[in-house]
């Protein structure tokens, strides 16, 4: 018994040592992947190994290949670092080893998801009556939202897609901004709608959907099953679609409005950015990540649906041995998984740690730091290409080849990490400020390093 206690304490110590090293550790320096693979690729032993040996071997093998994405100077993709209480809660979720499938499998897991779901809706301004599926990521949340959409737009024309599938079904038209996230396309593939169903709608200079173009597209399409994928937070620019106007248009044509707000939906949590997602409450489904800007552990995201009955009709399943799901859809009724990790504990803990003001402050601080980045790099003579309305900054360093060289040099240097992107045909550096621990000093140090390397 003491051995188990010792083992779990060792694991917690390793995690704490790593976390405490983050502010000073090089960020994402190049790794010898072949050597790393080799360290893991020992022959599978026949005999059992004592757990403490396994843990020591794992730590030794993994350490050189860990990327300091949880640290304060990682600005790649849209990646946050898990908050302390959320990290600890996630460790407990592993220790408790609960199956969040339903309230019979784990009453505590369902209660945590239910409470956290209520808080999430309050923070985001999503109607309190909406359902929330706790899913693995924005990809899964988009898939769940679009499954609900598929159900309803076909039910509206008398087609039961859950029973009959898509063969012979009326054609669904899917409108989405030309700058949609690529996971929308994959969700459409997985749902059998196919990417040919997509009708891209032109976007404005910052990548937000052009409402006039959307109106024209809907008018030209005429009546029929219609899904419109809107976006809060373009991965390059941070731009948000005009949700109020777009949802109004979609509903005028009897369609379903889905909002991919993986990170941008968090603009709703602060009075200073709330206007960017004004009208979001009018949508029919929303996808939002916890593991990006909210700084929760992987894999945490939320699929919200204005119609819980539609959400469950699209996602739930029943079997004779499954008792206790009850009348109110919860847990696995709202996701594509059956047995599930109890990710609600970490969500509950992270939100409890921050509080309403803490979530707002996190959003405001990241936006302010993004502007500081933009100002610093502009002052250093480089070109900021986007309107920095949220936490994303796009920077050019001259021609494409030169920008790519600067991005590579920054990644090799290890002071900070930023990725490259192609935006409107141009190679650019993409900086995303999403970490709860990033300070002004981290930004200034990063700006200085980028400027030094660029020169």
Ligand X SMILES: *Cc1c(COP(=O)(O)O)cnc(C)c1O
Looking at 102, 131, 143, 183, which residue binds ligand X (CB under 6 A)? Answer: 183
Are 282 and 248 in contact by the 8 Å Cβ rule? The answer is: yes
Contacts by residues 90-94 (CB-CB < 8 Å, ≥ 24 positions apart):
90/297, 90/343, 90/345, 90/346, 91/11, 91/12, 91/15, 92/345, 93/341, 93/342, 93/343, 93/345, 93/346
Pairing verdict, β 285-289 and 301-305: antiparallel
Torsion of CA 187, 267, 93, 42, to 10 degrees: 60
Using rule CB under 6 A, residue 11 touches ligand X: no
Q: Considering the complex, what minimum distance in angstroms separates the CB of residue 161 from ligand X? A: 24
At closest approach, how far in Å is the CB of 260 from ligand X?
A: 5
Query: Is there a contact between 162 and 151 (Cβ–Cβ < 8 Å)?
Result: yes
Q: Is 423 in the site for ligand X (CB under 6 A)?
A: no
Residue nearest to ligand X (CB): 138
Count interface residues toward ligand X (CB under 6 A). Answer: 13
Query: By rule CB under 6 A, what string of x and - marks binding of each residue 281-300 to ligand X?
Result: --------x-----------
Q: Does 241 bind ligand X (CB under 6 A)?
A: no
Instruction: Kindly tell me which of 210 and 289 has the beta carbon lying closer to ligand X.
Output: 289
Q: Per CB under 6 A, which of residues 135..164 are in contact with ligand X?
A: 137-139
Which is closer to ligand X, CB of 313 or CB of 367? Answer: 367
Among positions 243, 262, 346, 349, the unique one binding ligand X when judged by CB under 6 A? 262
What secondary structure does DSSP assign to 331-384, as a single string? GGGGSS-SS---THHHHHHHHHHHHHHHHHHHHHHHHHHHHHHHHHHHHTT-EE
Binding segment toward ligand X, per CB under 6 A, in 144-152, 211-219, 260-268, 332-340: 260-268
Q: Is 446 in the site for ligand X (CB under 6 A)?
A: no
Query: What are the CA-CA distances from residue 434 to residues 49, 57, 355, 362, 367 (Å)?
Result: 40, 32, 18, 9, 9
Scanning 26-34, 257-265, 386-394, 415-423 for contacts with ligand X by CB under 6 A, the matching segment is 257-265
Q: 240, 266 in Cβ contact below 8 A?
A: no
Q: 133 or 233, CB closer to ligand X? A: 233
Among the candidate windows 90-98, 132-140, 269-277, 430-438, which touches ligand X by CB under 6 A?
Answer: 132-140
Query: Is the Cβ of residue 101 or residue 263 nearer to ligand X in the bound state?
Result: 263
Tokens in use for 72? 């304060």
* Residue 178: C-alpha distances to residues 194, 253, 375, 380 (Å): 16, 20, 29, 33
Among 159, 253, 256, 263, binds ligand X (CB under 6 A): 263
Interface residue with ligand X, options 93, 193, 235, 267 (CB under 6 A) = 235
Give residues in contact with ligand X (CB under 6 A): 78, 137-139, 181, 183, 233, 235, 260, 262-263, 289, 301
């Amino acid at each position: 018994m003491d051995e188990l206690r010792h083992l779990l304490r060792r694991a917690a110590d390793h995690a704490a040592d790593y976390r405490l090293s983050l502010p000073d550790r090089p960020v994402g320096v190049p790794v010898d992947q072949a050597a790393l693979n080799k360290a893991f690729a020992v022959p599978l032993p026949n005999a059992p190994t004592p757990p403490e040996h396994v843990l020591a071997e794992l730590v030794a093998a993994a350490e050189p290949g860990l990327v300091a994405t949880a640290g304060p100077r990682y600005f790649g993709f849209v990646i946050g670092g898990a908050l302390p209480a959320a990290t600890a809660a996630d460790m407990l979720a592993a220790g408790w080893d609960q199956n969040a499938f339903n309230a019979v499998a784990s009453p505590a897991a369902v209660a945590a998801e239910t409470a956290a779901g209520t808080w999430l809706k309050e923070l985001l301004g999503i109607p309190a009556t909406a359902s929330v599926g706790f899913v693995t990521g924005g990809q899964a949340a988009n898939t769940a939202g679009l499954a609900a959409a598929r159900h309803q737009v076909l039910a509206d024309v008398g087609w039961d897609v859950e029973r009959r599938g898509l063969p012979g079904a009326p054609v669904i038209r899917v409108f989405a901004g030309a700058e949609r996230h690529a996971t929308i396309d994959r969700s459409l593939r997985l749902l059998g709608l196919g990417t040919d169903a997509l009708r891209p709608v032109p976007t404005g200079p910052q990548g937000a959907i052009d409402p006039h173009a959307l109106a024209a597209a809907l008018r030209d399409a005429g009546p029929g099953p219609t899904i419109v994928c809107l976006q809060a937070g373009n991965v390059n620019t941070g731009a948000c679609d005009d949700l109020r106007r777009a949802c109004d248009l979609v509903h005028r044509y009897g369609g379903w409005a889905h909002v991919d707000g993986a990170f941008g939906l968090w603009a709703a949590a602060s009075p200073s950015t709330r206007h960017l997602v004004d009208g979001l409450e009018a949508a029919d489904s929303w996808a939002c990540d916890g593991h990006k800007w909210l700084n929760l552990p992987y894999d945490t995201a939320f699929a919200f649906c204005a119609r819980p009955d539609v959400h469950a009709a699209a996602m739930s399943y029943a079997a004779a041995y499954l008792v206790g799901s009850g009348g109110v859809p919860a847990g696995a009724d709202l996701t594509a998984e059956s047995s599930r990790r109890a990710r609600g504990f970490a969500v509950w803990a992270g939100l409890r740690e921050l509080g309403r003001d803490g979530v707002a402050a996190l959003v405001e601080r990241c936006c302010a730091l993004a502007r500081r980045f933009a100002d610093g790099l502009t002052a250093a003579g480089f070109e900021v290409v986007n309107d920095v309305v949220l936490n994303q900054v796009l920077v050019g360093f001259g021609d494409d080849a030169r920008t790519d060289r600067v991005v590579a040099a920054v990644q090799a240097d290890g002071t900070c990490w930023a990725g490259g992107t192609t935006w409107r045909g141009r190679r650019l550096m993409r900086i995303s400020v999403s970490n709860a621990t990033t300070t002004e000093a981290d930004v200034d140090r990063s700006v200085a390093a980028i400027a030094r390397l660029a020169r």
